[in-house]
Amino acid sequence: MPHITVKIWPGKAEKEKQALAEAVTQDVMKHLGASADSISVAIEEIESSKWEDTVYVPEIAPAMDKLYKKPGYKM
């Protein structure tokens, strides 16, 4: 049962976030063979001024060897 959390900066419209959640759901179904009913997608907005302390340092930096898509930026 995949659960995906997408962290983004604030400012995207609800329509854009809903479209992203639908696209992620479709891709998970396609690539992992999961059913739509087994997938959940959360979108969490993180202020840009808090990104480094809230996302990059605790989640991205220590997991670089596990990331299938690494960021093109460094902090």
Report the distance separating Cα 23 and Cα 10, nearest Å: 19
List CB contacts of 70: < 8 A, sequence separation 6 or more: 64
1: helix, strand or coil: coil
Report the distance separating Cα 21 and Cα 6, nearest Å: 9
6: helix, strand or coil: strand
Catalytic residue list contains 2: yes
Q: Hey, which residues are catalytic here?
A: 2
